[in-house]
């Protein structure tokens, strides 16, 4: 029982990272139906920026804030200068463009920061802070969960309680109608891209101390985040968060009790299962398509 | 300039049109047939090996383009199918001692079966869902091969016995060249014919609008899974070629980067055309060899070229070539 609880706690830590990634993916998918393959690489980019700034002896908060802003800018710039002006942009074409951007970005990072792994300095350590009947919560685990939950709560307030959030929801629902009502749809899209990239960047910064920093660091969390978003429902932001957490817990428990080697295969299996049984995800609305 | 007037619809469907087309085809086939003798004489024997790899890549790209370009179902896990084909052919020859044609057919069938299985969820998934499911499939195959050492030979790798046509006058590489290039040419020809048959048209209808296709009588279940199985079967044969070319299989040869490279081939060559797949595969096999000094630049080049292609010329190099040809046909208008 203690072992199970311990795995669940560890799973919540990983799950909060997956949830952050899933939230960014769902945010973009909901507004433009584009799956952003560069999501993971934008996150890695933010982490590398933070890493460089920290090496320059900047305070941790400033470095992380600046790196998230850099990721947001890059994401928004990608939308504005590459994705939007693309000719004959079918959905397939736009997805392929994000794939190209992912390659470009990861290649550039490899060139700039090298492909060898780096240790990411982080103010929190592995020291245990909470102990409850043998279940240990480390400083870093707690920090990750708290940071993740705070970011998600901020996101919720932004989307549900502000005018900008209202505009985002309007554009996501029907861009043409929103534009006709005077909402600057393109700027809202760019903002959505920026926000999603910053969320991914936060996940990257939180993940970096647990694994070593390298240009392909976010590939696996990106896939898991996507699996989480599918599990919870790509259309629904709370669904994406729930899916991320569920996947994190399921994966850690699976790795602990069944097989560590095949834990990545589990995420793939979950995607297939969800899509076969309930394609709209746990919290997603059933969607209808038209010709 | 004399223009040949098309009088019947069938005229437009001919794969090779006019004397120019036939002579170009003859020259190409002749060159392919004589390469094993001319290249070593020019001191370019290593190009023979590259030609074998090119044959494998052309086969994958043609199959992948049937899936992505024609049917509109994105797969980012084709390295997984190639790996399945490679290991299937390797295991069938090495462990069961089957003759290579049987093993190759087995590789194609086993890979196609996996394609069918991956294609089943494709019936429910569109766009990004499917893309990630295939991406996950590619990674899952890699992980299973890495971890299941009884199957893949673990760190030692899996040695593959050399194939033989029983022709004494030819070296091993020359024999493999003929088998590989012959297979690739045959499969490309089959690809051209598939694309212009009712199957190809059903694929295109699904790509353009699957609901409309279903309403007009295209059986989505059958054609989507068929597209996946065909594409995976092509990749399986390519895997058998790769297994023979490397002679020693390791899971590291079939990573995510390979899947991306296959994808880049068809985007650069031209989505939705068989010729585009061939051009893209040939280009992306040769390019890394001449740019080996800039290895770390390759992802950047691929990425930038994919973005540029999609932004400027979504029909790829082949689409550009067709446009240039049309321009000169009407010249000086």
Say yes or no: B295 contacts chain A, CB-CB below 8 A. no
When CB atoms are compared, the residue of A92, A223, A262 closest to B132 is: A223
Kindly tell me if the per-residue pLDDT of B263 is higher than 50: yes
Place of tokens 């945010």: A27
Residues 160..189 of B with a Cβ closer than 8 Å to A: which? none
Residues of A in contact with B299 (CB under 8 A): 103-104, 106-107, 110
The shortest C-alpha distance from A46 to chain B (Å) reads 18
In the block, which residue shows the tokens 């043409």?
Answer: A176
pLDDT, residue B79, reads: 93
Q: How many CB pairs under 8 A join A and B?
A: 134
In chain A, pLDDT over 90 holds for what percent of residues? 35
Contact assignment for A227 to B132 by CB distance below 8 Å? yes
Q: Among A90, A104, A265, whose Cβ lies nearest the Cβ of B303?
A: A104
pLDDT at A49 over 70: yes
CB A70 within 8 A of CB A45: yes
- B80-89, B109-118, B239-248, B324-333 — which is least confidently predicted? B324-333
CB-based burial of residue B95 (10 Å sphere; 0-12 exposed, 13-18 middle, 19+ buried)?
Answer: exposed
Choose among B191, B189, B226, B186: nearest CA to B206.
B226
- The neighbouring-strand residues paired with A213 are A118
> B149 or A244: whose pLDDT is higher?
A244
CB-closest option in A105, A226, A290 to B132: A226
Contact predicate A219/A48, CB 8 Å: no
Which residue from B125, B143, B311 is facing A264, i.e. has the nearest CB? B143
For chain B, what is the radius of gyration of the CA atoms?
20
Among the partner-chain residues A100, A115, A276, the one whose CB lies closest to the CB of B124 is: A276
Nearest neighbour of A82 by CB, restricted to B127, B131, B307: B307
> What pLDDT does B13 receive?
75
State whether B209 and A268 contact (CB < 8 Å): no
Per-residue pLDDT reduced to its tens digit, A51-71: 999 888 888 889 999 999 999
Contact yes or no for A106 and B299 at CB 8 A:
yes
Per the structure block, which two tokens stand in for A251? 């994966």
**pLDDT of the residue at B150:** 76
Q: How confident is the model at residue B3 (pLDDT cuts 50, 70, 90)?
A: low
Retrieve residue B133's tokens.
Answer: 């499911």
Q: Which of A50-54, A138-142, A161-165, B236-240 has the lowest mean pLDDT?
A: A138-142
Whether A288 shows a pLDDT value over 60: the answer reads no
The answer to whether the Cβ–Cβ distance between B128 and A34 falls below 8 Å is yes
Under an 8 A CB cutoff, do A275 and B121 touch? yes
**Per-residue DSSP letter, B254:** S
- How far is it, in rounded angstroms, from Cα A27 to Cα A25? 5
Q: Cβ of B132 and A261 within 8 Å? A: no
Chain B from 214 to 243: CB within 8 A of any A CB? 215
Mean pLDDT of A245-255: 91
Contact A104 B304 (CB under 8 A): yes
Q: Which residues, listed in sequence order, are joined to residue A131 by a DSSP beta bridge?
A: A136
Mean pLDDT for all residues in chain A: 86
Chain A interface, best mutation among B130, B308, B311, by max A CB count within 10 A: B311
Structure tokens belonging to residue B249 = 């299989």
Distance from CA of B219 to the nearest CA of A (A): 16
- Across the interface, whether the CB atoms of B299 and A35 are under 8 A apart is answered no
The closest CB to that of B139, out of A103, A226, A264, belongs to A264
Cβ pair A228, A12 in contact under 8 A: no
Question: Hey, are the CB atoms on B296 and A276 less than 8 Å from each other?
Answer: no
Q: Among B90, B131, B127, which Cα is nearest to A32's?
A: B127
| Residue A264 to residue B302, Cβ atoms within 8 A | no
Confidence of residue A275 (pLDDT cuts 50, 70, 90): confident
Question: Sorting pLDDT into bands at 50, 70 and 90, what band is B1?
Answer: very low
Widest pairwise Cα distance in chain A = 61
pTM of the model: 0.82
pLDDT at B155 over 70: no
> SS3 for chain A, per residue?
CHHHHHHHHHHHHHHHHHHHHHHHHHHHHHHHCCCCCCHHHHHHHHHHHHHHHHHCCCCHHHHHHHHHHHHHHHHHHHHHHHHCCCCCCCHHHHHHHHHHHHHHHHHHHHHHHCCCCECCCCCCCCCEEEEECCEEEEHHHHHHHHHHHHHHHHHHHHHHHCHHHHHHHHHHHCHHHHHHCCCCHHHHHHHHHHHHHHHHHHHHHHHCCCCCECCCCCHHHHHHHHHHHHHHCCCCHHHHHHHHHHHHHHHHHHHHHCCCCCHHHHHHHHHHHHHHHCCCCCCCCCCCCCC
pLDDT in tens, B126-141: 666 777 778 888 888 8
Confidence of residue B322 (pLDDT cuts 50, 70, 90): confident
| Gap between the Cα atoms of B127 and B259, Å rounded | 17
Best-predicted range by mean pLDDT (A111-115, A233-237, B235-239, B327-331): B235-239
Chain B nearest-CA distance from A58, in A, is 30
State the average pLDDT for chain B.
Answer: 86
Q: Give contacts of B 78-137 with A, CB under 8 A.
A: 120-121, 124-125, 127-129, 131-133, 135-137
CA B294 to chain centre: 25
pLDDT at residue B173 is higher than 80? yes
Tokens 């985040």 label which residue? Answer: A225
Tokens for A70, please give them: 């850099």
Q: What is the pLDDT of residue B154?
A: 67
- Is residue B333's pLDDT more than 70? no
pLDDT band for position A289 (cuts 50, 70, 90): low
Pairing of strands B158-159, A135-138: unpaired
Of A254-263, B194-203, B213-222, which gets the smallest average pLDDT?
Answer: A254-263
Contact A111 B300 (CB under 8 A): yes
Tokens representing B74 are: 């994105």
At residue A68, the pLDDT reads 94
Q: Taking CA atoms, what residue in B is nearest to A109? A: B300
Q: Give me the residue label for tokens 């069918």.
A: B116
CA B316 to chain centroid, in Å, comes to 16
Of the pLDDT bands very low, low, confident and very high (cuts 50, 70, 90), residue B288 is: confident
Inter-chain CB proximity B124 and A279 less than 8 Å = yes
Identity of the residue in B131, B211, B305 whose CB atom sits nearest the CB atom of A35: B131
d(CA B54, CA A124): 51
Nearest to B238 by CA among B107, B90, B98: B107
Determine the Cα angle at A145 with ends A172 and A189, to 5°.
20
Q: For an interface test with A, which of B299, B304, B305, B316 has the most A Cβ atoms less than 10 Å from its Cβ?
A: B299
Rounded-to-integer distance, Cα B311 and Cα A93, Å: 9
Which of B76, B147, B297 minimises the CB distance to A261? B147
Amino acid A87: pLDDT: 63
Cβ atoms within 10 Å, residue B330: 9
The answer to whether A91 contacts B127, with C-beta atoms less than 8 Å apart, is yes
Mean pLDDT of the A201-225 span: 86
- Find the CB nearest A103 among B121, B131, B303: B303
Is the CB of A104 less than 8 angstroms away from the CB of B300? yes
Q: Which residues pair with A138 in a beta bridge?
A: A128
**How confident is the model over A19-28, as a mean pLDDT?**
92
Which of B77, B115, B133, B139 has its CA nearest to residue A271?
B133
Per-residue pLDDT of A101-125, as tens digits, reads: 998 998 899 888 887 787 887 777 7
Distance between A133 CA and the closest CA of chain B, angstroms:
36
If we measure between CA atoms, which residue out of B278, B239, B250 comes closest to residue B105?
A: B239
Per residue in A156-165, pLDDT (tens digit) is 999 889 999 9
Q: pLDDT band for A286, please (50, 70, 90 cuts).
A: low
CB contact (8 A) between residue A96 and residue B260:
no
* Residue A289, both tokens: 């398509």
Interface confidence (ipTM) of the complex: 0.81
């Amino acid at each position: 029982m203690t072992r199970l609880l311990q795995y669940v706690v560890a799973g919540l830590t990983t799950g909060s990272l997956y949830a952050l990634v899933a939230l960014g993916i769902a945010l973009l998918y909901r507004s433009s139906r584009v799956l952003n393959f560069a999501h993971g690489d934008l996150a890695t980019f933010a982490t590398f920026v933070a890493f460089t700034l920290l090496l320059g002896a900047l305070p941790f908060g400033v470095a992380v804030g600046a790196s998230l802003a850099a990721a947001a800018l890059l994401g928004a710039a990608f939308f504005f200068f590459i994705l939007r002006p693309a000719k004959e942009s079918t959905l397939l074409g736009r997805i392929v463009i994000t794939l190209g951007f992912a390659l470009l970005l990861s290649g550039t990072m490899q060139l700039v920061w090298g492909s060898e792994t780096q240790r990411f300095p982080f103010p929190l350590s592995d020291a245990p802070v909470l102990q409850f009947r043998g279940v240990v919560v480390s400083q870093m685990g707690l920090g990750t969960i708290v940071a993740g939950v705070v970011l998600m709560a901020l996101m919720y307030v932004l989307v549900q309680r502000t005018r900008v959030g209202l505009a985002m929801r309007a554009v996501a629902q029907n861009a043409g109608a929103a534009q006709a009502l005077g909402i600057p749809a393109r700027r809202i899209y760019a903002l959505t891209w920026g926000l999603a990239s910053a969320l991914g960047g936060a996940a990257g910064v939180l993940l970096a101390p647990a694994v070593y920093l390298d240009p392909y660091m976010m590939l696996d969390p990106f896939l898991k985040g996507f699996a989480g978003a599918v599990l919870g429902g790509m259309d629904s932001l709370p669904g994406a968060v729930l899916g991320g957490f569920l996947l994190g817990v399921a994966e850690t428990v699976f790795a602990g009790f069944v097989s560590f080697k095949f834990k990545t295969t589990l995420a793939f299996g979950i995607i297939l299962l969800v899509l076969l049984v309930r394609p709209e995800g746990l919290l997603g609305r059933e969607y209808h398509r038209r010709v | 300039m004399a223009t040949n007037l098309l009088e019947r619809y069938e005229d437009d469907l001919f794969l090779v049109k006019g004397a120019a087309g036939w002579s170009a085809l003859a020259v190409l086939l002749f060159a392919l047939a004589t390469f094993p003798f001319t290249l070593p004489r020019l001191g370019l024997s290593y190009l023979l090996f590259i030609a074998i790899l090119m044959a494998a890549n052309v086969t994958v790209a043609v199959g992948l383009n049937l899936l992505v370009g024609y049917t509109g179902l994105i797969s980012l896990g084709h390295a997984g199918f190639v790996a399945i084909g490679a290991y299937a052919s390797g295991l069938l020859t090495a462990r069961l001692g089957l003759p290579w044609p049987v093993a190759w057919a087995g590789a194609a069938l086993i890979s196609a079966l996996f394609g069918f299985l991956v294609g089943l969820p494709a019936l429910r998934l569109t766009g990004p869902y499917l893309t990630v499911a295939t991406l996950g499939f590619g990674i899952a195959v890699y992980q299973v091969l890495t971890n299941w050492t009884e199957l893949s030979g673990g760190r030692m790798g899996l040695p593959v016995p050399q194939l033989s046509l029983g022709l004494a006058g030819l070296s091993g590489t020359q024999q493999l060249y003929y088998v590989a290039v012959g297979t690739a040419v045959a499969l490309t020809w089959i690809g051209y014919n598939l694309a212009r048959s009712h199957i190809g048209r059903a694929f295109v209808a699904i790509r353009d609008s699957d609901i409309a296709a279903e309403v007009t009588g295209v059986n989505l279940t059958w054609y989507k899974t068929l597209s996946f199985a065909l594409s995976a079967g092509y990749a399986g044969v390519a895997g058998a070629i790769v297994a023979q070319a490397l002679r020693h299989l390791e899971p590291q040869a079939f990573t995510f980067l390979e899947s991306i490279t296959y994808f880049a081939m068809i985007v650069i060559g031209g989505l939705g055309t068989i010729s585009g797949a061939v051009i893209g595969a040939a280009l992306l096999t040769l390019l890394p060899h001449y740019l080996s000094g800039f290895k770390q630049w390759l992802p950047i080049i691929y990425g930038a070229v994919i973005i540029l292609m999609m932004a400027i010329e979504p029909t790829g190099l082949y689409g550009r070539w067709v446009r240039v040809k049309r321009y000169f046909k009407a010249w000086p208008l």
